[in-house]
A and B are shown apart, each in its own frame.
Chain A
Protein backbone atom coordinates (compact mmCIF):
# COMPACT_ATOMS: atom_id res chain seq x y z
CA UNK A 1 0.00 0.00 0.00
CA UNK A 2 1.07 3.58 -0.47
CA UNK A 3 0.14 6.83 1.20
CA UNK A 4 1.31 10.39 1.38
CA UNK A 5 1.02 12.92 4.19
CA UNK A 6 1.35 16.64 3.70
CA UNK A 7 2.27 17.98 7.07
CA UNK A 8 0.81 21.47 6.67
CA UNK A 9 -2.61 22.27 5.31
CA UNK A 10 -1.75 25.94 5.02
CA UNK A 11 1.55 27.82 4.73
CA UNK A 12 1.92 31.58 4.60
CA UNK A 13 5.15 33.32 3.56
CA UNK A 14 6.18 36.81 2.59
CA UNK A 15 7.16 37.56 -0.97
CA UNK A 16 10.91 37.05 -1.42
CA UNK A 17 11.27 34.62 1.49
CA UNK A 18 11.91 30.86 1.17
CA UNK A 19 9.13 28.33 0.74
CA UNK A 20 9.07 24.90 2.39
CA UNK A 21 6.15 22.53 1.83
CA UNK A 22 6.55 19.26 3.68
CA UNK A 23 5.61 15.80 2.45
CA UNK A 24 6.15 12.34 3.88
CA UNK A 25 5.32 9.19 2.00
CA UNK A 26 4.81 5.55 2.77
CA UNK A 27 5.41 2.88 0.18
CA UNK A 28 6.30 -0.78 0.16
CA UNK A 29 8.37 -0.38 -3.00
CA UNK A 30 10.65 2.21 -4.55
CA UNK A 31 8.21 4.99 -5.34
CA UNK A 32 7.81 7.61 -7.99
CA UNK A 33 7.03 10.94 -6.37
CA UNK A 34 5.54 14.08 -7.83
CA UNK A 35 4.50 17.57 -6.88
CA UNK A 36 1.53 19.11 -8.63
CA UNK A 37 0.23 22.66 -8.32
CA UNK A 38 -3.35 23.85 -8.70
CA UNK A 39 -4.03 27.53 -9.17
CA UNK A 40 -7.55 28.80 -8.48
CA UNK A 41 -10.00 27.54 -11.10
CA UNK A 42 -7.22 25.82 -12.98
CA UNK A 43 -6.21 22.21 -13.55
CA UNK A 44 -3.37 20.27 -11.96
CA UNK A 45 0.04 21.15 -13.32
CA UNK A 46 3.11 18.96 -12.84
CA UNK A 47 5.85 20.83 -11.01
CA UNK A 48 8.45 18.11 -10.78
CA UNK A 49 8.96 14.37 -10.47
CA UNK A 50 11.33 11.92 -8.81
CA UNK A 51 11.82 8.53 -10.43
CA UNK A 52 14.96 7.07 -8.74
CA UNK A 53 17.56 9.10 -10.60
CA UNK A 54 19.02 12.17 -8.84
CA UNK A 55 17.67 12.69 -5.33
CA UNK A 56 17.52 16.46 -5.80
CA UNK A 57 14.94 17.22 -8.43
CA UNK A 58 14.51 20.58 -10.10
CA UNK A 59 11.15 21.61 -11.44
CA UNK A 60 9.47 24.53 -13.09
CA UNK A 61 9.27 28.07 -11.71
CA UNK A 62 12.32 27.66 -9.47
CA UNK A 63 10.92 24.85 -7.31
CA UNK A 64 12.93 21.85 -6.29
CA UNK A 65 12.46 18.83 -4.05
CA UNK A 66 14.79 16.43 -2.32
CA UNK A 67 14.05 12.73 -1.97
CA UNK A 68 15.28 11.42 1.38
CA UNK A 69 14.70 7.71 1.67
CA UNK A 70 15.89 7.50 5.29
CA UNK A 71 13.29 10.09 6.28
CA UNK A 72 10.65 8.99 3.72
CA UNK A 73 10.32 12.63 2.81
CA UNK A 74 9.98 14.62 -0.39
CA UNK A 75 9.78 18.26 0.70
CA UNK A 76 9.24 21.02 -1.85
CA UNK A 77 11.31 24.18 -1.62
CA UNK A 78 11.84 27.47 -3.39
CA UNK A 79 14.45 30.04 -2.39
CA UNK A 80 12.29 33.09 -2.94
CA UNK A 81 8.49 33.17 -3.09
CA UNK A 82 6.65 35.15 -5.71
CA UNK A 83 3.07 36.34 -5.52
CA UNK A 84 2.20 34.07 -8.45
CA UNK A 85 3.21 31.03 -6.38
CA UNK A 86 0.03 31.32 -4.31
CA UNK A 87 -1.84 28.08 -5.05
CA UNK A 88 -2.64 24.60 -3.72
CA UNK A 89 0.25 22.13 -3.86
CA UNK A 90 -0.17 18.37 -3.90
CA UNK A 91 2.44 15.77 -3.09
CA UNK A 92 1.70 12.60 -5.03
CA UNK A 93 3.07 9.07 -4.92
CA UNK A 94 3.00 6.87 -7.98
CA UNK A 95 2.12 3.25 -8.21
CA UNK A 96 4.51 0.37 -8.84
CA UNK A 97 5.25 -0.82 -12.32
CA UNK A 98 2.17 -2.24 -13.95
CA UNK A 99 -0.23 -0.06 -12.00
CA UNK A 100 -0.98 3.54 -12.69
CA UNK A 101 -3.12 5.01 -9.95
CA UNK A 102 -1.62 8.05 -8.28
CA UNK A 103 -2.20 8.68 -4.59
CA UNK A 104 -2.59 12.32 -3.66
CA UNK A 105 -1.83 14.06 -0.41
CA UNK A 106 -4.47 16.31 1.08
CA UNK A 107 -2.78 19.43 -0.28
CA UNK A 108 -1.05 22.49 1.15
CA UNK A 109 -2.42 25.92 0.42
CA UNK A 110 0.42 28.39 -0.03
CA UNK A 111 -0.36 32.01 0.67
CA UNK A 112 2.17 34.67 -0.33
CA UNK A 113 1.96 38.01 1.45
CA UNK A 114 3.21 41.18 -0.23
Chain B
Protein backbone atom coordinates (compact mmCIF):
# COMPACT_ATOMS: atom_id res chain seq x y z
CA UNK B 1 0.00 0.00 0.00
CA UNK B 2 1.44 3.40 -0.93
CA UNK B 3 2.40 5.60 1.97
CA UNK B 4 3.94 8.94 2.81
CA UNK B 5 7.43 8.59 4.23
CA UNK B 6 9.27 11.16 6.32
CA UNK B 7 12.91 11.45 7.33
CA UNK B 8 14.38 11.71 9.84
CA UNK B 9 12.01 10.34 12.46
CA UNK B 10 13.67 12.45 15.12
CA UNK B 11 15.95 15.46 14.80
CA UNK B 12 17.67 17.41 17.53
CA UNK B 13 19.07 20.81 16.63
CA UNK B 14 20.52 23.81 18.39
CA UNK B 15 18.58 27.04 18.54
CA UNK B 16 19.38 29.25 15.57
CA UNK B 17 20.36 26.39 13.30
CA UNK B 18 18.66 25.57 10.03
CA UNK B 19 16.82 22.28 9.64
CA UNK B 20 15.34 20.55 6.64
CA UNK B 21 12.60 18.00 7.10
CA UNK B 22 12.08 15.63 4.23
CA UNK B 23 9.04 13.86 2.87
CA UNK B 24 8.25 11.55 -0.01
CA UNK B 25 4.53 11.89 -0.81
CA UNK B 26 2.43 9.22 -2.48
CA UNK B 27 3.54 9.16 -6.08
CA UNK B 28 0.34 10.06 -7.95
CA UNK B 29 -0.79 12.73 -5.49
CA UNK B 30 -0.85 16.36 -6.52
CA UNK B 31 -1.31 18.24 -3.25
CA UNK B 32 1.26 18.31 -0.47
CA UNK B 33 1.06 19.65 3.05
CA UNK B 34 2.91 20.25 6.25
CA UNK B 35 1.22 20.20 9.63
CA UNK B 36 2.70 20.38 13.08
CA UNK B 37 1.68 19.24 16.53
CA UNK B 38 3.27 20.85 19.54
CA UNK B 39 3.27 18.44 22.46
CA UNK B 40 -0.15 18.40 24.12
CA UNK B 41 -1.72 20.70 21.54
CA UNK B 42 -3.79 20.41 18.39
CA UNK B 43 -2.49 19.42 14.99
CA UNK B 44 -2.09 22.71 13.12
CA UNK B 45 -1.97 23.39 9.40
CA UNK B 46 1.19 25.07 8.13
CA UNK B 47 1.15 25.09 4.35
CA UNK B 48 -0.21 23.45 1.24
CA UNK B 49 1.62 23.11 -2.06
CA UNK B 50 0.25 22.48 -5.52
CA UNK B 51 1.65 22.81 -9.01
CA UNK B 52 5.05 23.84 -7.65
CA UNK B 53 3.82 26.72 -5.58
CA UNK B 54 2.30 27.45 -2.20
CA UNK B 55 -1.47 27.41 -2.52
CA UNK B 56 -2.32 28.21 1.08
CA UNK B 57 -0.48 28.96 4.30
CA UNK B 58 -1.36 29.68 7.89
CA UNK B 59 -0.18 32.56 10.05
CA UNK B 60 2.30 30.15 11.64
CA UNK B 61 4.12 29.81 8.32
CA UNK B 62 6.17 32.98 8.52
CA UNK B 63 9.37 34.00 6.76
CA UNK B 64 11.51 31.51 8.64
CA UNK B 65 9.68 28.64 6.94
CA UNK B 66 9.95 27.58 3.33
CA UNK B 67 8.90 24.57 1.29
CA UNK B 68 10.31 23.09 -1.84
CA UNK B 69 9.78 20.21 -4.19
CA UNK B 70 13.34 19.89 -5.47
CA UNK B 71 12.66 16.90 -7.72
CA UNK B 72 9.77 14.70 -8.76
CA UNK B 73 9.52 12.84 -5.48
CA UNK B 74 10.70 14.83 -2.46
CA UNK B 75 8.90 17.59 -0.59
CA UNK B 76 10.85 19.50 2.04
CA UNK B 77 10.18 21.92 4.86
CA UNK B 78 13.03 24.22 5.83
CA UNK B 79 13.18 26.19 9.04
CA UNK B 80 15.91 28.79 8.67
CA UNK B 81 16.70 29.74 12.24
CA UNK B 82 15.08 27.42 14.71
CA UNK B 83 13.57 28.63 17.97
CA UNK B 84 12.73 26.66 21.07
CA UNK B 85 9.03 27.01 20.25
CA UNK B 86 9.55 25.22 16.94
CA UNK B 87 9.92 21.97 18.87
CA UNK B 88 7.03 19.82 17.68
CA UNK B 89 6.03 16.80 15.64
CA UNK B 90 5.93 17.79 11.98
CA UNK B 91 3.65 15.81 9.70
CA UNK B 92 3.84 15.73 5.94
CA UNK B 93 0.71 14.75 4.02
CA UNK B 94 -0.40 14.35 0.44
CA UNK B 95 -3.73 14.02 -1.31
CA UNK B 96 -5.24 13.36 -4.68
CA UNK B 97 -8.29 15.27 -5.84
CA UNK B 98 -10.62 13.42 -3.47
CA UNK B 99 -9.78 15.57 -0.48
CA UNK B 100 -8.62 13.21 2.23
CA UNK B 101 -5.01 13.59 3.19
CA UNK B 102 -2.62 10.73 3.87
CA UNK B 103 -0.10 11.48 6.55
CA UNK B 104 3.43 10.33 7.17
CA UNK B 105 4.77 9.05 10.48
CA UNK B 106 6.05 12.47 11.44
CA UNK B 107 9.41 13.99 12.34
CA UNK B 108 9.89 14.92 15.95
CA UNK B 109 11.94 18.11 16.02
CA UNK B 110 13.60 19.04 19.28
CA UNK B 111 15.27 22.44 19.50
CA UNK B 112 17.73 22.80 22.37
Contacts and interface: CB of A to CB of B under 8 A. Distances in A.
Tell me whether A and B are bound partners.
yes
Interface of A: 32, 34, 36, 42-46, 49, 51, 90, 94, 99-107
B3 to A, nearest CB: 9
Contacts of A49: 99-100
B102 A94 contact: no
B105 A103 contact: no
Contacts of B100: 32, 34, 46, 49, 94
Contact of A100 (B43, B48, B103, B104): B48
Interface of B: 4, 31, 33, 35, 41-45, 48, 50, 55-56, 58, 91, 93, 95, 98-106
A108 to B, nearest CB: 12
A51 B104 CA distance: 23
Contacts of A42: 105
Contact of B43 (A45, A46, A104): A104
Q: What 4 pairs across the A-B complex have the smallest Cβ distances?
A: A44-B103, A43-B105, A104-B43, A101-B45
Contact of A106 (B42, B58, B99): B42
Contacts of B55: 100
Contacts of B99: 32, 49, 51, 94
Nearest to A41: B105
9 contacts: A45-B103, A94-B100, A100-B31, A100-B48, A101-B33, A103-B45, A104-B35, A105-B42, A107-B42
